[in-house]
Amino acid sequence: MKDHLQIKDWGFGIEGHVIIAGPCSAETPEQIEKVCLDMKKENMVPDMFRAGIWKPRTRPGSFEGIGEEGLKWMEIVRHHLNIPITTEVGNAAHVELALKHKVDVLWVGARTTVNPFAVQEIADALKGVDIPVMIKNPMNPDLQLWIGALERMHAVGINKLAAIHRGFSDSYDKRFRNKPNWSMPIHLKREWKGMEVINDPSHIVGNREGILETAQRAINFGLDGLMIETHHDPDNAWSDAKQQVTPKRLKEILSLIDFKDTLGSENPGERLNDLRSAVDHLDDQLLDILQERFSLIDQIGAYKREHHLTVFQSDRWKFVMESRTQKGVQKNLSEKFMKELLYCIHEESVKRQEKQLREADAVKK
């Protein structure tokens, strides 16, 4: 798609999976210093230090960030860790102050990405500035909004870009604070070649316990790094206390993660090649079978039309769903997968038959 520079080319010497850590919010100079010293003590210096200066809170009255004062404390981070610093900007005034205090990397938060006016305001404030920008996914699972925010930055000349997957608001699934959608980053990478996506398990899970599992899944899905909220005294953090981990625990989490390489296309190995060509062959067969199945569906459609039958026949559909799901489960395919697959096939069948009907009606007229 569009040319952009990947994290390794942002000029910070970062290689491999990028690790971003630091507190949800900057609270006091002592807090910033303690986090840094604990990171140093644990020999757990991340690639980038994060700290929220302006906090988008759901309701007013809770801690809304320390503001410009906190940007001055970033000198403490530079002094102890000498790593790039990143913070969230939500409007043009934030951008101006972050640039004034030499923040190295900016990120746009989930609540801002949903609003093209706000994103454009930030982009306009960044015109002519050479600074990397990371875009968190919007609160709702809308890939176009996410890409749109990246495009708005790109259009004003920001070419150091990355995305952050922090999950999506979902009031039904209580396992997550923000439910991950692993296909979304994959679609994003498909639509914008080379776009790196960092995972933020802290905001996805919302507690300390689940961070390792979600971070590992992210790496398994080929994501390019992790942003993990880290505090020297998480229980007493001024925001997101439940989900922050200590530098010690961060080190442990990172040591337990199996950082797989994305499959090198250069030399995947003979065994893998054999397995892949077997899969290619089966996929060809699968497509032939689908083609055949839809041709039968078209013939059924013609019959229904001739006999003035509705396209959707609920008893038949119920039977297809139940019998196939049962067979699939016996073949070790999950019930959820079977249902999704059958819905997908059925929807396409109904669409084809409706199209047939429309075309036949058009000929009649």
Find the binder of ligand PEP among 109, 234, 247, 301 (CB under 6 A). Answer: 109
- Shortest CA distance to 37 belongs to which of 247, 206, 220, 216? 247
Please state, in angstroms and rounded to a whole number, the distance separating the CA atoms of residues 111 and 89: 11
Query: How far does CA 82 lie from the centroid of its chain?
Result: 28
Please state, in angstroms and rounded to a whole number, the distance separating the CA atoms of residues 191 and 183: 12
Only one of the segments 20-28, 118-126, 147-155, 212-220 lies at the binding site for Mn ion (rule: CB under 5 A); that segment is 20-28
φ, ψ of residue 264 in degrees (nearest 5): -65, 120
Q: Please report how close the Cβ of residue 203 comes to Mn ion at its closest, in angstroms.
A: 6
CB-nearer residue toward Mn ion: 156 or 241: 241
CB-nearer residue toward Mn ion: 152 or 166: 166
Q: Which does 110 bind (CB under 5 to 8 A by kind): ligand PEP, Mn ion, none?
A: ligand PEP
Please state, in angstroms and rounded to a whole number, the distance separating the CA atoms of residues 199 and 204: 9
Give yes or no for residue 240 binding Mn ion (CB under 5 A): yes
Specify the 3-state DSSP secondary structure of 99.
Answer: helix
Q: Which helix (H) or strand (E) segment is 233 a member of?
A: none
Give yes or no for residue 136 binding ligand PEP (CB under 6 A): yes
Q: Please report how close the Cβ of residue 341 comes to ligand PEP at its closest, in angstroms.
A: 32
Enumerate residues 42-61 that contact ligand PEP by CB under 6 A.
52, 56
- In Å, how far are 108, 126, 174 from 170, measured between CA atoms? 20, 32, 8
Find the binder of Mn ion among 24, 74, 150, 338 (CB under 5 A). Answer: 24
**DSSP label of 207:** S
Specify the 3-state DSSP secondary structure of 52.
Answer: strand
Find the binder of ligand PEP among 24, 119, 163, 226 (CB under 6 A). Answer: 24
CB-nearer residue toward ligand PEP: 146 or 325: 146
Q: Which does 201 bind (CB under 5 to 8 A by kind): Mn ion, ligand PEP, none?
A: none
Q: Which does 23 bind (CB under 5 to 8 A by kind): ligand PEP, Mn ion, none?
A: none
Q: Please report how close the Cβ of residue 118 comes to ligand PEP at its closest, in angstroms.
A: 12
Handedness of CA 7, 12, 17, 20 (dihedral sign): negative
Q: Are 168 and 137 in contact (CB under 8 A)?
A: yes
Q: Which does 109 bind (CB under 5 to 8 A by kind): Mn ion, ligand PEP, none?
A: ligand PEP
Enumerate residues 288-327 that contact ligand PEP by CB under 6 A.
none
Only one of the segments 94-102, 106-114, 261-269, 331-339 lies at the binding site for ligand PEP (rule: CB under 6 A); that segment is 106-114
Amino acid letter, 4: H
Give yes or no for residue 110 binding ligand PEP (CB under 6 A): yes
Handedness of CA 316, 319, 325, 328 (dihedral sign): negative
**Contact positions toward ligand PEP, by CB under 6 A?**
24, 52, 56, 109-111, 136, 166, 203
**Contact positions toward Mn ion, by CB under 5 A?**
24, 240
